Structure 1
């Protein structure tokens, strides 16, 4: 493949390369609307769904249901805002989240406001998915070959990381469409298994199941509630890659990319509503306040079905990891090529992507606190990019009339999102501290 490069003088007097036709996000713009659907299903219906019954056990039936429904409504609305803002300036596309931030808040402030938040979401997702992939694969082997249960979780996470070294060499976002489609199918598959298996076991084996919240103390209940809210926030993470997904869709003045993108988002959010509602309710109903932070761990019979579900999770997070990591690769490669003047090509990708995957893998191996990580990262990073940052951008750029629908909806989302971002990390940190007391590194 040949790449036309535009050399422009940068502010330091050097030469800057325009590598847009080589970078992972903008190299290929021939995606179909259904690519958007399964990319978004892969991004949104992720490992966070396995923690929803646990979140319900921390928040209770009523509060958990309210938080889950509000999160779906708010993030569905903010997703629409991002899709609309992708091409709100005629003849220009905001292919990356930081580029939209620069338009809204200025070249320097916008970049440094948005880029760290988006990067934090994608790094956090990579860490959690490394933990999830390793634990799910271990559980699968334990059920099929019990002798494998003696092996450390570290080895299974390491195997997941080794696979990512290979898959991470996919050149651009569109080249992941097959991986993403498979991941989307797997996510629907293990959600269905979690629902049906929980329901069946709940019908036949509910003796001694109690509800309410997990902690017996008031302080513990408060921390648990905050962590549960963060876990639910983590389950709505697709916004951090939405502009990058839309960037792969072709666009013309007669047929802007937003139509195809929104069709895919609607399909994805219908899947989200069905999967999240059924898994969270069935899992909590079947196991009550003693449900595990990964609901599949609570499922015990039949062994082959639970093993299949865990394998589906493993396959899913392989693809979902890539969907969230590709924008990180894009940022790294854009900086190295356009700012540092390095030659674009396979050697650059092999080196920089391998270093990143190795670093994320090391952190995953070191601190596999699944439940606490969901709560901590969900509130600390995900609330901003999914709940209130799109609304702030909408208010800044469109300036809706005070008390109008979009003004009111945006402010409600901003207030609730800020509360989530401020409070839920406290619960996640508490959960990790409690787990840390009985944890040894690289176990």
Structure 2
């Protein structure tokens, strides 16, 4: 899920708290929960994990995060299947929520904006390209790195597409024209509450790892840049060994400690100021999708394969890139409009769910 999901992990902590509340007080209880304590706690955890020196040291965290992702996705898929096959509820209509014919329906403009925002949420699922090179750098040379990455990317993209498509379609079948923004935190499901809590706990663990997977390359980029800019600075280069229980000696550099801590504090503060999960996810998805997932791979393929301009292959590749650019721009605009609408009913640091 990535960086944004990491700083907005609070919704999953809140989901556990609210699930317990609904279980004890009934499904129609108010059960409001403040998000601030959970964001502060997540930021404190990330300050500690961010001191891990480099990307190569967090392979174990990536494995745990992947296992958690598979777990909560499977739970969501199973609950969606069960709900979809229950009797006595609407399975939705082919055109979705109606336009301007009731309080629960949308104006034509709002529906278009929300479609754009949804495209951004889908694009966010494929924003992994930012860390592909970092992952490839951790691989052995035998078998060749490109062959391993090609197989891993195929499996990863296929699995992601399967779960997103299946959960999206089954969620619509289960809840009709009014599905929650997130099946697990939007409380489409209340029972079995222990399974919902377990799934949300898996999401929390997953996002702890996802935050590090996406930020470690940024940490490395800034620190390498500073190291080259000030090659003789003791503040940047001197290392001090600190004993950490259950870990051993951890080499700590003052610049790394201060810069990474400041980064986590800033992202945590931004999460508290802008607690709009789906809108932020859509915006980041729109920003990352086209340049990293489409444009650069297409341009590199054309250059590597020496695809001649204006041949049929060249035209189709350029058309693919242009279509994806339009999708990215539209989803970015939709997410910005969504944030604008959210800000009309928002008070800083007082958001409750």
**What is the alpha-carbon distance in structure 1 between the residues aligned to residue 281 and residue 70 of structure 2?**
20
- Of 278, 288, 313, the residue aligned with 1:381 is 288
> Which residue is equivalent to 1:138?
14
| 1:241 CA drift (Å) | 0.7
Equivalent residues in 2 for 1:211-360, closer than 5 Å? 211=93, 212-214=95-97, 216-251=106-141, 255-296=143-184, 297=186, 298-341=188-231, 342-343=236-237, 345=239, 346-347=252-253, 348-360=255-267
Distance 1:425 1:205, change over 3 A: farther
Which one of the candidate residues 176, 180, 193 is aligned to 2:75? 193
- Equivalent position of 2:242 in the other structure: none
> How far apart are 1:408 and its partner, in Å?
4.2
Q: Could you state the TM-score of these two structures normalised by the residue count of structure 2?
A: 0.83
Q: Does the 8 Å contact 2:12/2:200 carry over to 1?
A: yes
1:202 counterpart (84, 87, 91): 84
Separation in structure 2 between the aligned mates of residue 344 and residue 410 of structure 1, nearest angstrom: 48
Contact 2:90 2:176 in 1 (8 A): no
Q: Does the 8 Å CA contact 1:376/1:429 hold for their aligned counterparts? A: yes
- Residue deviations 1:126-151 (CA, integer Å, cap 9, x gap): 233211x1110111122235699554
Distance in 2, Cα, partners of 1:168 & 1:240: 18
Query: RMSD in angstroms over aligned alpha carbons?
Result: 2.2
Structure richer in helix, relative to its length: 1
Among candidates 423, 427, 430, match of residue 334 of structure 2: 427
SS at 2:196 equivalent? helix
Measured in 2, the distance between the counterparts of 1:233 and 1:388 equals: 14
Note closer, same or farther for the CA distance 1:183–1:405 as it changes in structure 2 (3 Å cut).
farther
Q: Deviations over 1:347-383 (max 9, x none)?
A: 2321111111111111011111111112222213332
Provide the rounded CA distance (Å) in 2 between the counterparts of 1:317 and 1:184: 10
- Taking structure 1 as reference, are residues 344 and 288 closer, same or farther at Cα in structure 2, changes over 3 Å only? farther
Q: Find the counterpart in structure 2 of residue 39 from structure 1.
A: none
CA contact (8 A) 1:206 1:286 kept: no
TM-score, normalised on structure 1? 0.67
Residue 439 of structure 1 and its aligned partner are, at CA, apart by: 1.6
How many equivalent pairs are there?
A: 317
In 2, the alpha carbon distance for the partners of 1:412 and 1:396 equals 16
* 1:134 and 1:158 in contact (8 A); partners too: no
Change over 3 Å in CA distance of 1:261–1:209 after alignment to 2:
closer
- Report Cα offsets for 1:21-57 as digits up to 9, x if no partner: xxxxxxxxxxxxxxxxxxxxxxxxx2xxxxxxxxxxx
Would the alpha carbon gap of residues 312 and 404 (structure 1) be closer, same or farther in structure 2, given more than 3 Å must change?
farther
- 1:180 is matched with 62
- d(CA) in 2 for partners of 1:156, 1:205: 37
Task: Give the structure 1 partner of residue 246 of structure 2.
Answer: none
- CA spacing shift, 1:344–1:329, aligned 2, 3 Å: farther
Deviation at 1:325, TM superposition (A): 0.5
